[in-house]
Amino acid sequence: MRICANTPVQMAGIAALRGPQDHVKNLVEKLKIRRDYAWKRLNEIKEVSCAKPEGAFYVFPKIHSIGSKWKTDMEFAVELLKETGVLLVHGSGFDPIYGAGHVRAVFLPPIEMMEQAFKEIEHFMKKK
C-alpha cells in the first residue's frame, strides 16, 4: 500500500515549485473573488449561514433547518442532489459533532456556475 505520491509525481511537484510563479498571484486573486462571492451569496439564502473561509477553497455553511425539515445533513444533501442536481458533501462526514448540520461546497467553479447552483439551493430551501 502506498500512502504518498509516486516518485515521478514528486519530481514534477519539485519542478513546479522551483519554476516560474507569476501565475500564482492571478490565481489567488480569482479565488478570493470566488470565495467572497460564495460566502456572500450563501449568507443571502434563508436558513443558511456561512463563515468566511480563510484557508482552503471550500465553504462550510450551516443549514439551520436541519433537524426540523431534514433529519440530518446527509438527508439534506441527498435530497438536494436528487431534486436539483447540485452536489454538496454532508458535514457530518468530516466530523459527526462539529460537522453535523453543515454541508461543504467548493468555490473553484466560475461565478456563473456557482450562481446557478445557489439559485437551485435557494429554490429548494423555499419549497420545503
2: cell is: 502506498
Share of the chain above pLDDT 90, in %: 94
Concatenating the DSSP letter of every residue in 20-69 gives --HHHHHHHHHHHHHHHHHHHHHHTSTTEE-PPPSSSSEE--EETTBTTT
Q: Where are the domains of the chain?
A: 47-128
CB 38 within 8 A of CB 48: no
Model pLDDT for residues 38-77, shown as the tens digit of each residue? 999 999 999 999 999 999 999 999 999 999 999 999 999 9
pTM for the whole structure: 0.85
Residue 67, pLDDT score: 92
CATH superfamily, domain at 47-128: Aspartate Aminotransferase, domain 1 (3.90.1150.10)
CB 107 within 8 A of CB 58: yes
